[in-house]
């Protein structure tokens, strides 16, 4: 069995689907014990049998791994690549791999095989998640270079695979570490028709960030219209105004309330009768402060300021103190 496992691994790595499938089917014990999600270790960049089956578009093995052996296409290798990443890398991208050289002579056949494998992966469902949904293949997963499977499919010029990925909500606006979108990758590899198609879809589709902005505006529109202050808010503001006025005049609260009732809330406007002439007099505009106290003389109220005496001309008749006016 150990010899079978070694032969099977070599057949997978070399892309020999016929030999790999023969070994897989002719050894029931090996087939039963094989875990398609098990890593082959660091020497093999932590690729799994599912990675290699996807990389070489081995249709029969991939179907068995996904639907009979609980294979998970979201497993990652040392480069953070999933099975979808390797599947969407056409022979042009993986030229150093010797097993892919013969496929360059049959690009349409190779693309069709990859498109069939892609459909299988997109139909795969895994374990049940907390929200009641089932795990699906992540078409927007990024590798260590921030490429998605759509980046590789576009760079390989595989139109059918690109169409399947776009229909599965692959992100058209995703950028890799070189700040390239899938459209840029297609154009860079001279797949002009595919690049124009992707560009048109980008123009007539929405950037995910734009959806978030629209959601914020919609939330603002759903807010209740402003109906003014409530009664308790008005009472609280009234109490605060009375306290502040009393503190400013150094007067009792009932005096401040009486002043506000008599002259309204604009009592300290420069044109208000509560404001004496010294409030806007020349020479004390910068050094004046709030009134310090209120002196009652019969029914007449004289509001005296707290000021610097040197800054005001004592010759002003309005400035005289009550005892000076008697003179």
Q: Over the stretch 183-201, which tens digit does the pLDDT of each residue have?
A: 999 999 999 999 999 999 9
Whether residue 18 contacts residue 56, with contact meaning beta carbons closer than 8 Å, is answered with no
Mean local confidence (pLDDT), 55-62: 95
Predicted local distance difference test score (pLDDT) of residue 230: 77
Predicted local distance difference test score (pLDDT) of residue 257: 85
Whether residue 277 contacts residue 253, with contact meaning beta carbons closer than 8 Å, is answered with no
Least confident of 45-54, 120-129, 274-283: 274-283
φ, ψ at 135 (rounded to 5°): -65, 135
H-only helix segments in the chain: 2-14, 17-26, 28-33, 49-55, 59-67, 83-87, 107-123, 149-156, 159-167, 182-188, 192-203, 208-221, 231-249, 253-263, 322-326
For domain 35-206, give the fold. Answer: 1.25.40
The upper half-sphere exposure of residue 272, i.e. CA atoms within 13 Å in the direction of its Cβ, equals 14
Name the strand (E) or helix (H) holding 302: strand 300-304
278 has a pLDDT exceeding 70? no
Predicted local distance difference test score (pLDDT) of residue 290: 44
CA 201 – CA 271 distance, rounded (Å): 66
Q: Which has more pLDDT, 231 or 141?
A: 141
Q: For 6-45, b where at least 16 C-beta lie within 10 A, e where not — what string?
A: ebbbebbbebbbeebbebbeebeebbeebebbebbeeebe
Q: Which has more pLDDT, 320 or 22?
A: 22
Of the candidates 45, 124, 112, the residue with the CA atom closest to the CA atom of residue 84: 124
Kindly report the average pLDDT of the chain as a whole number: 79
| pLDDT tens by residue, 79-121 | 999 999 999 998 766 555 444 444 555 678 899 999 999 999 9
Least confident of 49-53, 58-62, 278-282: 278-282
CA 217 – CA 252 distance, rounded (Å): 49
**Residue 128 CA from chain centroid, whole number:** 26
Predicted local distance difference test score (pLDDT) of residue 141: 97
**pLDDT band with cut points at 50, 70 and 90 for residue 208:** low
φ, ψ at 304 (rounded to 5°): -100, 140
Q: Which residues pair with 294 in a beta bridge?
A: 303
CA 149 – CA 151 distance, rounded (Å): 5
167 has a pLDDT exceeding 50? yes
Predicted local distance difference test score (pLDDT) of residue 308: 37
Whether residue 303 contacts residue 276, with contact meaning beta carbons closer than 8 Å, is answered with yes
Burial of 266 (0-12, 13-18, 19+ CB in 10 A): exposed
CA 288 – CA 277 distance, rounded (Å): 12
Torsion sign (Cα): 276, 278, 280, 285: negative
Sketch the domain layout of the chain as residue ranges: 35-206, 233-326
Q: Which two structure tokens, joined as six digits, stand for 204?
A: 């007539």
268 has a pLDDT exceeding 60? no
| pLDDT tens by residue, 10-39 | 999 999 999 999 999 999 999 999 999 999
155 has a pLDDT exceeding 50? yes
pTM here is: 0.63
């Amino acid at each position: 069995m150990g010899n079978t496992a070694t032969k099977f691994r070599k057949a997978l790595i070399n892309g020999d689907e016929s030999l790999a499938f023969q070994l897989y089917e002719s050894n029931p014990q090996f087939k039963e014990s094989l875990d398609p999600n098990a890593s082959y270790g660091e020497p093999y960049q932590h690729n799994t049998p599912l990675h290699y089956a996807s990389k070489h578009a081995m249709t029969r093995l991939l179907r068995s791994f996904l639907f009979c052996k609980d294979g998970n296409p979201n497993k990652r290798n040392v480069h953070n690549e999933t099975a979808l990443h390797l599947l969407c890398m056409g022979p042009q991208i993986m030229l150093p791999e010797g097993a892919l050289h013969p496929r360059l002579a049959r690009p349409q056949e190779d693309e069709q095989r990859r498109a069939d494998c892609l459909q299988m992966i997109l139909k795969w469902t895994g374990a049940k998640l907390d929200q009641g949904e089932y795990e699906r293949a992540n078409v927007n997963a990024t590798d260590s270079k921030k490429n998605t499977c759509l980046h590789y499919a576009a760079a390989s010029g595989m139109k059918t695979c690109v169409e399947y990925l776009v229909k599965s909500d692959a992100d058209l606006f995703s950028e890799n570490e070189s700040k390239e979108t899938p459209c840029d990758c297609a154009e860079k590899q001279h797949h002009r028709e595919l690049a124009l198609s992707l560009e048109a879809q980008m123009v007539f589709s929405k950037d995910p960030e734009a959806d978030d902005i629209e959601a914020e505006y919609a939330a603002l529109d759903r807010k209740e219209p402003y109906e003014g202050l409530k009664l308790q808010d008005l009472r609280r503001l009234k109490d605060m105004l009375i306290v502040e006025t009393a503190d400013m005049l150094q007067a009792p609260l009932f005096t401040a309330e009486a002043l506000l009732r008599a002259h309204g809330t604009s009592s300290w406007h420069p044109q208000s009768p509560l404001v004496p002439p010294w409030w806007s007099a020349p020479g004390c505009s910068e050094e004046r402060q709030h009134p310090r106290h209120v002196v009652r003389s019969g029914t007449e109220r004289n509001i005296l300021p707290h000021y610097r005496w040197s800054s005001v001309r004592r010759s002003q008749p309005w400035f005289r103190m009550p005892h000076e006016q008697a003179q």
